[in-house]
Structure 1
């Protein structure tokens, strides 16, 4: 299918051939007929992309600080590599889509195949959108009109926050697309509306809708004029839909407001607020968040958990519906806002000079029924090796892009497929690394007899299911940590591992030259190991904290260090006890200390903290054994104390990824056992589960192999004991 993509690195906009998305649970697959170009937002993205590095940095000072912190902790070259990789990430354009539902995912209740819907899908021939981000189009509303639904909801949410009443005077600053829709909805609500803009065409269009216009370029003082029009009192409310870098708009909004007036920011402007201006009038100020309640809430948007109507009357989806009802009832006429209708293939007519466009609303018109293809051949003539060592990758996120693919390329791996949920990232990586096929259906990889190995780097909740399918398809499997999120998933995998193919989990740190050196120095001597992870804070609403999706950071990330200590000690975990910060620590804590007792008497301590400074190094490993100490500082410097012939190893930061993928490529090509013994993988996974159970129950949890059982019989069990003897 065709999709519009923009480069953050160059600002170029291209119509890309990408595989069509698969319909997923809670979502609908829509074939697009029309989409609206949001000129303000998309102009800003294109101009940002065309800016040079210095200009980009000036626009994002918070990101500059993050980059500087990363330089301090990881070094200059790895940081620059990460920055350039980030800039190479393609950006799907558009968020105002209308079309027909062609497939419905499990759990969808309100929509069905054949429904016409408006959604926040991008400019693409097919889009997959969650049910709560799509609304059915009334019969008397065209797809062209319905494409305005999302921008209409943005304006409507600003109105709801302003909370105008019949007869109040509301000023709309900025009569672009969102501003004109906002003003017309305010008129429909019985308000007197004053619109401010620098464009005479927009002022004239607003006048046709009963809006009093003010153009500062024509010599009018906006503050004085609003004061005059309101009998000296000032406006009841000001809704800012304009985009400006300075603070002048905020200041003028305060000056033209009445005492205890309301100011709502929908657009983008400087936010230096004069205390005197707001203090004297007791003004209120609020920033509007996109389409309304539910926006950026994963439980609402991705999982379909609606907010109860009696308590949250207007969610983003109900705002969509309200805008469509206003169109159907003749209260909102968007047809007059359309400046141009452009076929999708002629998109350059809009984007080639978008920075100077005078268009108000540009509609992209899609061709007739598009062919649905879940696989795109990116390089028709590219070779991908012989049948015995061909790989397929499932997942095209940051780890695949920034770590795995560069390492596999250096190792000479033969990759035939890359699968991604949306198709955009996967196709971009296929182009960069000359991978022949990009797909949105990972089952294509499993069904291909030439593919010997599957590498899985998806979200954590998909790992176990995909591992099982790949094992049953006779593929060697590499999966990023964690292997599973619960014991049931783990036991299914244990039963599926019959030895015919290998299973490797991405516990890369054991392959670092620093850990390899420490292992060489310490051998199998009894030891104490302390591993400290300065993990950094992740907002609580991010999926990694969700126990069903990410498994929490202990199961999802701290397992790295359980495996690392297992490798160093040469033993398996016998018992686990975890303590977490806080009076009532939750199961998905990311500030915890984990105690590990090993079968050979060794002990391990994992300090996993998210409350440290990002300027401090992320990881530190200390090994104490036979009056000797080894300290690994962030996988850059290892210092030895008491070792004959060794005092220091220094390298660029190396957490073992390159060696891991080089060895994996060699094993797949030449045969041999998995890189990590399967029983150690199972033991590490069980230990991560035991850490959570320990926190919940407040005591040690003992891991024990059942006598006489085998791994294929799921012969591992855990039980709690009150104390260790």
Structure 2
């Protein structure tokens, strides 16, 4: 299928061939008929992409600080690689989609194949969207009218926050697409509406709908608005403009009556003048997109609705309200359509999007597009080697993009497949790294007889079942930690391994770092060791999936397992007992601030400090080893120093956590039909110890780890 994407590094807008997405649980696959180009939002993305590197930095000063902190912690070159990889990520364009339901995933309620629907899906011939972001289209609303639903809901949510009553006077500041729709919805709500804009064509359209219009080129906006209300001032202002100036908020404050309300829907400067707000006791609020539920993973991803008695208007119910207004003739969007363009001719819109005066552009989609879940990206011949030497990847997220594929590029890996849920990221990565095929159906990898090994980099809850499927297909399985997030998943993996000819490998790359291998060589295996590993992990917002115990398993299972393996490797022994304590008065099974004690079968001791409340400019990882009168300190896999150790003083390298060495050996192992770089007993022990950490936090006691 075809999909429009934006390259943020080059600024190029591309109609890319990508595989059709497969709807997951709670998702709906939609065959697109029409989509609306939101010229304001998409213009910003296109212009940002076309800007130079320094211009991009000036537009995102908060990101510049993050980059500087990363340079201090990890060095210049790794940071530059990260930045350029981020900018190379394709960005799907569009969020106003109308089409027909092609398929539904499990647990979908109230929607079926053949329904006409709207969604916030991108500009693509097929889109897969969570059910709470989909609404059924009434018979009296056309596809092109329905394509306005989502952008109209943005204006409607601003109105709901303003809470106007019949007879009030409301100013709409900025008469672009959202502004014009907002003005018309306010009129339908019984308000007197004043519209402000520089563009005479937009002012004319607004007047035709019954809006009183003002232009800053012909009037003092604040004074004119106050005069139109008999000197009282307007009851409220909805700002839908996009501008960097602080003057818009100031003018809005000046034209308001005492205790007036201002709602920001657009993007403007926000340096507020306290006196303007203080003297009138004005209220100011920023509107978040389509309404309650936006950016809430429980609502959007898991399909949990808010009870209507407590949250009357969710984003989905706002969609439904807009569609009803269209059906009843209270909202006319046809007059806003500037052009109708076939998808294949998208450049008619995007090549001059920065200077276009269009209000709304509709993309029209062809009929009869087939559902193809894989595409050939690089039809290159095999790099050679015995049968079963080809490698496939399941997962096209950040780890695959930033770490896995750059490391594999430095090997002779024969990459045949990459599977990703949406298709866009996987296809872009296939194109960049010479992978032959991109697919949205990972089971294609399991059915390919030439494929000897599958690398799994998905969200953590999928690891165990996918490993079991890969091993069940007789192939080698590599999984980027963790192996499993619960005991049931671990047992499933163990059962599959016992009955499969395939090998198992987990991405515990730290043991392959030159720093770790040097430390291991300096240690006497028979001498007792005290080991302290500290991870300055940094805070991650609580809504991110890694904190979800059902999806990510929490950060201790998902990330601290790296250090358990590191200490197992250095000790040369298995963990037999674990005790953990979390920060604060109450022990929690889901924490990212904990100290963990490990006892090893040979008597060694380990401490893992996993902290998320430190400064990111400080080194992220640190290791201390004390043994036989010597002390070894490793700082962030860049510098290692030894004290009291004969024949060694220090080792300095670029940041090297062992990824490159790990994948070089893995690729060699695939060709030799043996990928088990880490003993199976150690992989299982580390996984059991990670699960024991959670149990220890719950019970506040030592927990034994079965050997």
The aligned counterpart of 1:708 is none
Question: Partners of 1:125 and 1:625 in 2: how far apart?
Answer: 63
User: Does structure 1 conserve the Cα–Cα contact (< 8 Å) formed by 2:388 and 2:449?
Assistant: no
| Residue 618 of structure 1: how far off its partner (Å) | 0.1
Q: 1:550 aligns with which of 549, 552, 556?
A: 552
Report how many aligned residue pairs link the two structures: 704
Q: Are residue 442 (structure 1) and residue 442 (structure 2) matched?
A: yes
Question: Partners of 1:385 and 1:24 in 2: how far apart?
Answer: 36
User: Does structure 2 conserve the Cα–Cα contact (< 8 Å) formed by 1:384 and 1:436?
Assistant: no
The aligned counterpart of 1:584 is 586
| Residue 379 of structure 1: how far off its partner (Å) | 1.6
The aligned counterpart of 2:391 is 391
| Residue 215 of structure 1: how far off its partner (Å) | 1.1
User: Does structure 2 conserve the Cα–Cα contact (< 8 Å) formed by 1:18 and 1:427?
Assistant: yes
| Residue 651 of structure 1: how far off its partner (Å) | 0.3
Question: Partners of 1:385 and 1:351 in 2: how far apart?
Answer: 43
The aligned counterpart of 2:513 is 512
The alignment partner of 2:193 has SS state of strand
The aligned counterpart of 1:415 is 415
Q: Residues 566 and 304 from structure 1, CA distance in 2 versus in 1: closer, same or farther, beyond 3 angstroms?
A: same
User: Does structure 1 conserve the Cα–Cα contact (< 8 Å) formed by 2:167 and 2:192?
Assistant: yes
User: Does structure 2 conserve the Cα–Cα contact (< 8 Å) formed by 1:693 and 1:701?
Assistant: yes
Q: Are residue 274 (structure 1) and residue 267 (structure 2) matched?
A: no
The aligned counterpart of 1:350 is 349
The alignment partner of 2:637 has SS state of coil
The aligned counterpart of 1:473 is 473
Q: Residues 673 and 416 from structure 1, CA distance in 2 versus in 1: closer, same or farther, beyond 3 angstroms?
A: closer
The aligned counterpart of 2:180 is 180
| Residue 29 of structure 1: how far off its partner (Å) | 0.1
The aligned counterpart of 1:502 is 503
The aligned counterpart of 1:64 is 64
Matches within 5 A, 1:658-673: 658-672=660-674
| Residue 672 of structure 1: how far off its partner (Å) | 3.3
Q: Are residue 170 (structure 1) and residue 173 (structure 2) matched?
A: no
User: Does structure 2 conserve the Cα–Cα contact (< 8 Å) formed by 1:528 and 1:603?
Assistant: yes
User: Does structure 2 conserve the Cα–Cα contact (< 8 Å) formed by 1:396 and 1:457?
Assistant: yes
Unaligned runs of 5+ in 1: 706-725
Question: Partners of 2:265 and 2:392 in 1: how far apart?
Answer: 44
The alignment partner of 2:279 has SS state of helix
| Residue 673 of structure 1: how far off its partner (Å) | 5.6
Question: Partners of 2:503 and 2:623 in 1: how far apart?
Answer: 29
Q: Are residue 302 (structure 1) and residue 301 (structure 2) matched?
A: yes
The aligned counterpart of 1:650 is 652
The alignment partner of 2:388 has SS state of helix
The alignment partner of 1:186 has SS state of helix
The aligned counterpart of 1:283 is 282
Q: Give the TM-score normalised by the residue count of structure 1.
A: 0.96
User: Does structure 2 conserve the Cα–Cα contact (< 8 Å) formed by 1:389 and 1:452?
Assistant: yes
Question: Partners of 2:653 and 2:429 in 1: how far apart?
Answer: 28
The aligned counterpart of 1:636 is 638
Question: Partners of 1:466 and 1:55 in 2: how far apart?
Answer: 43
The alignment partner of 1:150 has SS state of helix
Question: Partners of 2:586 and 2:259 in 1: how far apart?
Answer: 42
Q: What per-residue deviation string (whole Å, max 9, x for no partner) do you get for residues 165-190 of structure 1?
A: 11100000000000000010000000
The aligned counterpart of 2:249 is 250
The alignment partner of 1:333 has SS state of coil
Q: Are residue 626 (structure 1) and residue 628 (structure 2) matched?
A: yes
The alignment partner of 1:356 has SS state of coil
The alignment partner of 1:33 has SS state of strand
Q: Are residue 312 (structure 1) and residue 311 (structure 2) matched?
A: yes
| Residue 408 of structure 1: how far off its partner (Å) | 1.1
The aligned counterpart of 1:535 is 537
Q: Are residue 78 (structure 1) and residue 103 (structure 2) matched?
A: no
Q: What per-residue deviation string (whole Å, max 9, x for no partner) do you get for residues 178-214 of structure 1?
A: 0000010000000000000101111110111111011
Question: Partners of 2:600 and 2:503 in 1: how far apart?
Answer: 26
The aligned counterpart of 1:53 is 53
| Residue 500 of structure 1: how far off its partner (Å) | 1.6
Quick check: 146-155 or 579-588, which moved more?
A: 579-588
User: Does structure 2 conserve the Cα–Cα contact (< 8 Å) formed by 1:32 and 1:98?
Assistant: yes
The aligned counterpart of 1:232 is 231
| Residue 384 of structure 1: how far off its partner (Å) | 4.9
The alignment partner of 1:85 has SS state of helix
The aligned counterpart of 1:328 is 327
| Residue 398 of structure 1: how far off its partner (Å) | 1.3
Question: Partners of 2:251 and 2:680 in 1: how far apart?
Answer: 67
Q: 2:703 aligns with which of 689, 701, 704?
A: 701
Q: Residues 673 and 14 from structure 1, CA distance in 2 versus in 1: closer, same or farther, beyond 3 angstroms?
A: closer
Unaligned runs of 5+ in 2: none
Question: Partners of 2:675 and 2:574 in 1: how far apart?
Answer: 19
| Residue 23 of structure 1: how far off its partner (Å) | 1.1
Question: Partners of 1:113 and 1:96 in 2: how far apart?
Answer: 20
Question: Partners of 1:562 and 1:639 in 2: how far apart?
Answer: 22
| Residue 586 of structure 1: how far off its partner (Å) | 2.3
Question: Partners of 1:704 and 1:82 in 2: how far apart?
Answer: 40
Q: Give the TM-score normalised by the residue count of structure 2.
A: 0.99
| Residue 382 of structure 1: how far off its partner (Å) | 4.1
User: Does structure 1 conserve the Cα–Cα contact (< 8 Å) formed by 2:552 and 2:558?
Assistant: yes
The alignment partner of 2:354 has SS state of helix
User: Does structure 2 conserve the Cα–Cα contact (< 8 Å) formed by 1:240 and 1:265?
Assistant: yes
| Residue 389 of structure 1: how far off its partner (Å) | 1.1
Question: Partners of 2:675 and 2:35 in 1: how far apart?
Answer: 52
Matches within 5 A, 1:359-438: 359-386=358-385, 387-438=387-438
Question: Partners of 1:672 and 1:448 in 2: how far apart?
Answer: 19
User: Does structure 1 conserve the Cα–Cα contact (< 8 Å) formed by 2:666 and 2:675?
Assistant: no
Question: Partners of 1:673 and 1:476 in 2: how far apart?
Answer: 7
